[in-house]
Amino acid sequence: MVNRTKVSLCGIEMDNPVIPASGTFGFGYEFAEIYDINCLGTFSFKGTTKEPRFGNPTPRIAECSSGMLNAVGLQNPGVDAVIAEELPKLAKCFHKPVMANVSGFGVEEYVYTCEKLDKEPQVGWLEVNISCPNVHGGGMSFGTDPAAAAEVVRAVKAVTTKPVIIKLTPNVTDIVAIAKACEEAGADAISLINTLLGMRIDLRKKAPLIANTTGGFSGPAVFPVAVRCVYQVASAVSIPVIGIGGVSSAEDVIEMMMAGATAVEVGAANLVNPFACRDIINDLPAAMDKYGIDNLADIIGAAHK
Amino acid sequence: MVLEGDVSAISAPGQFINIQLDGLYLRRPISVCDLTEDTVTIIYKLVGKGTEMMSEMKPGKALDVLTGLGNGYDLTLIPEDATVLLIGGGVGVPPMYLLAKKLLASGRKVTVVLGFNSECDVFFEEEFKALGVDIRVATADGTYGTKGFVTDVLPESYDYFCTCGPTPMLKAVYVATESDGQMSFEERMCSGFGACMGCTCKTITGYKRICKDGPVMRKGEILW
């Protein structure tokens, strides 16, 4: 039987384009307890840094209309523990190449962490997050300047062999300029968008709801912003684009792909419905039939005239 | 509110359920108050949009609920012949009810201390009395029971304690109790099953997610 949902991302075949986004899926095994996560295209694991991080103080979460704010702040056990403990656990429940998500606070940290994860046979792609809005002195500061973004890309590419995906922030004046700078510096793909910087206030306490004051806004409310960014970037670069932002249904996946996405990440939806990605994958064939789509790969960028 | 359905995933008092409500993005985590073979009872306080919607629901409405979340109270850690002190504050009272029933069923003795802000907030005193346990109530403004906090009405003698309530109360209980015990924490959550790291706290045994590794923790592992 022909697999109508398969796509190829930087030369690696995926059964479908659906990828749980980093920070919403841990290292996979919480979800593996409730369904077989091998139905996924792949997943992007929890953002990993050189050193272990506790992250930000709580509250880290606030609800919004059609979405949520988070300011987790890259809590993770550090790359050495990820390799020693998390990846072996993951190997027992996930048998496809996984996307390693990497964050850092300086070029040399990105290089250190990427170089180590690049050597892990389970890792298919490196997704380099230069767009975390919830940490200071790193993260997003690399993703808001084309020259700084390019510097990270060049440095990481120099020490790695696997496809390098650069994850971009929408909190910029011109996301296309950053994407083009990454492409020119050698990035193999672009993923976007990370969360939008947001804030909520507790009316009773007259104080920010989130301890970090601001957080990243995600959920269905950001979907149109994400589709726009994917469309603009896909028009300007020739490397693959991964669409992220508010995706919650098979229709959303199709819309992202028509905007130019080769694959699609699903974030906040996993936190509301643990079966979100499995359900989206199951719903894809019927949604494709509804819109007369024989093969998903055929519609990548279909909305571009 | 009594919910009927498959409750087989709920295995211990102190666990919680996470309820999806129409039009609200995140689920509402609420602790389990009582349990039968096919029902779960929850008690909630009207604090915002979600609980307001719940208060307006009509019998027969179907809800999307994740059940059996979190680690509840571990009865195997409690000595078999112990007198157990249960301390509940405000919305931390409900989980004490199922816990009291389980402890009594196991032959242990139970004393209950409940704390509320004011007389109008007091609930479930009769239900605890019906279990035949010794019960003491404190209100912060003195309009009912003893004026003061739960720590002002602790009995002299008990072997072990279990508590649930707001963090300031837990801190006070931590200081006021000499025995070993277990404490259940509250935090803003989203998934309720450990996926987002939104509710992490530091403990002596490392970082723990209140939703997945908690909400109940052992006194000895808590770092304030």
Tens-digit pLDDT profile for residues A99-155: 999 999 999 999 999 999 999 999 999 999 998 777 766 666 789 999 999 999 999
pLDDT band at B171 (very low <50, low <70, confident <90, very high): very high
pLDDT band at A305 (very low <50, low <70, confident <90, very high): confident
Cβ separation A30–B25 shorter than 8 A: no
Report phi then psi at A153, rounded to 5.
Answer: -60, -50
Cβ separation A61–B198 shorter than 8 A: yes
Give the residue on B whose Cα is nearest the Cα of A77. Answer: B207
pLDDT band at B127 (very low <50, low <70, confident <90, very high): very high
* Contact list, B24 vs chain A (CB under 8 Å): 63
Q: How many whole angstroms separate alpha carbon B216 and alpha carbon B71?
A: 6
Write down the pLDDT at residue B88. 96
* Contact list, B196 vs chain A (CB under 8 Å): 23-24, 61, 70, 72, 271
Q: Does residue B205 belong to the interface with chain A, where contact is any CB pair within 8 Å?
A: no
Region B52-56: what's the mean pLDDT? 95
What is the predicted ipTM? 0.89
Tens-digit pLDDT profile for residues A12-45: 999 999 999 999 999 999 999 999 999 999 999 9
What is A7-56+72-197+217-299's CATH superfamily? Aldolase class I (3.20.20.70)
Write down the pLDDT at residue A137. 63
Region B175-185: what's the mean pLDDT? 95
Write down the pLDDT at residue A141. 78
pLDDT band at B11 (very low <50, low <70, confident <90, very high): very high
pLDDT band at B189 (very low <50, low <70, confident <90, very high): confident
The angle formed by the CA atoms of residues B16, B22 and B28, to the nearest 5 degrees, is 20
Type of residue at A194: N
Tens-digit pLDDT profile for residues A166-218: 999 999 999 999 999 999 999 999 999 999 999 999 999 999 999 999 999 99
Tell the CATH topology of B2-69: Elongation Factor Tu (Ef-tu); domain 3 (2.40.30)
Show me where the domains of chain B are located.
2-69, 75-186
The size of the A-B interface in CB pairs under 8 A is 83
- Distances from the Cα of A232 to the Cαs of A166, A297, B37, B112, in angstroms? 16, 19, 55, 63
Cβ separation A23–B197 shorter than 8 A: yes
- Cα of A241 vs its chain's centroid, Å: 11
Cβ separation A60–B188 shorter than 8 A: yes
State chain A's mean pLDDT as an integer: 95
Q: How many whole angstroms separate alpha carbon A108 and alpha carbon A125?
A: 19
Show me where the domains of chain A are located.
7-56+72-197+217-299
Tens-digit pLDDT profile for residues A66-93: 999 999 999 999 999 999 999 999 999 9
Closest CB from A55, A63, A220 relative to B26: A63
Tell the CATH topology of B75-186: Rossmann fold (3.40.50)
